[in-house]
Structure 1
Amino acid sequence: MKGKILTTWSLIWLLATVLFVAGGALNLSQRANHQLPPTDGVDWTQKADGIYAEKVAPSLAASRAGIAVGDKLIGISLDEKQFDEVVAPSDVQMYLETAGVSGNLTYFYQRPSYSFTNNFYYADLRNIDTLPRWTASLIFLSIVGIIWLGVGIFVLFKQGSHSPFVLHFAAVCLTAFVFHVYKPIGLGEDFDDAIRLLDDMAFAFFVPLFLHFCLRYPVRSEVFDEPRWKTYLLYVPASLITIANFFVS
């Protein structure tokens, strides 16, 4: 390493790296070993006039029962007799938790895409699933994230922490590692919520960090020399997204 003595900021980066790697390892371990929550495979979204299916994962319970994108969920029944009105997307998860994995539910829904009046249907969800524990995309993204981190560590120790722009590049790599590897599994627990927030935060800040690096490297751009508010302005959108995401969650 060219810089024999680590700078304060490089030590902070290394400490942050250890913490984020530990968090990523716990997240992957949780996905590998923890009991995953039940899901119908639908992303339900709240609109002014009700709850609508925004995305429907193929091969999961709702898709097998005939639910399609754009369907409006009206009620849910645990016994196929008494239907309770659904007023929020969070209500769906409560019924799924009650039915449990491999359990059954019945949805009463409307298909607004059909123009005729009698467009109300029942969907029998049988053998409710969990989300897939591992997918090809999850594995691929985790590998990409580890490569990003490896590149950052290599450059830091190869070029030395005193070399210009090295810590900035290392920060870009660490941010990329976080949003590639960190993926919540939908447990609703504190650790899982923290993983989701860090994933969203890293994704939001990656773009301004990378853009800022490109403007600085290899020769510092005069655009961001003075006044400094131009540099801070670059990070305002990511900061606002992070704050909004924190309060919404």
Structure 2
Amino acid sequence: MSSILLKIENKIAYITLNRPEVFNSINREMAFLFQDTLDACEANADVRAIVITGAGKAFGAGQDLKEVTDPDLNPGFKKILDEHYNPIIIKIRAIKKPIIAAVNGVAAGAAANIALACDIVVAHEKVNFIQAFSLIGLIPDSAGTYFLPRLIGFQKAQALAMLGDKIGAEEAEKMGMIYKLIPLENFEEEVNKLALKLANMPTLALGKIKEAFNASLTNTLEQQLALESKLQIEAASTNDYAEGVAAFIEKRKPNFKGN
């Protein structure tokens, strides 16, 4: 059984972390397959939205500690970060398609930060997010020290990183860590609805929104205004923009093609 599953339907790619017997902890083979799957979704013109979730009871437990404690398997932390997690985060942010993290169970360590790097994060009420690194003498990686303080503020983020507290989905929603809590009983249905909505929106515009928000993390105001101007001119030249305006004038639902 593959450690990463991919299903494509209705213009949506569903990527499932699939090592449920170890709460989807990530080893070297899984990390590379995850990257390959993200690349395949980016290259596939039929894919207009991506959902990342976990098999079984967890979204992900982070790094497979059995791998790093086995002298025959351990690739070392430099390779783990440079070759496993950092490329995953970079790909998630670079793909110009909306990516939903559908957090279906505990998200700890690197898995939590992979989720937080996604464009939209949803979870149900039984989910916990844990910056578990300090509990074993490590620091947050997988861009945890980058995205978390930007999502919830410096003081709160640093405290969570140091203390390793469990944060439930309700609290995570209130503090702005995630977009929305979805009740467990209709979690899958609502995730699918959200993904389908994104898949039928103007894909190029969504990609440019993502590009603009990425740049806003380091740009000055003047640089961001210049980028907005550039991207808006590009968006205005798309077929989807023409369709959106025509649909608005004609008082009908737009039929976006993603181009």
Structure number with greater Rg is: 1
TM-score, normalised to structure 2, is: 0.23
TM-score, normalised to structure 1, is: 0.24
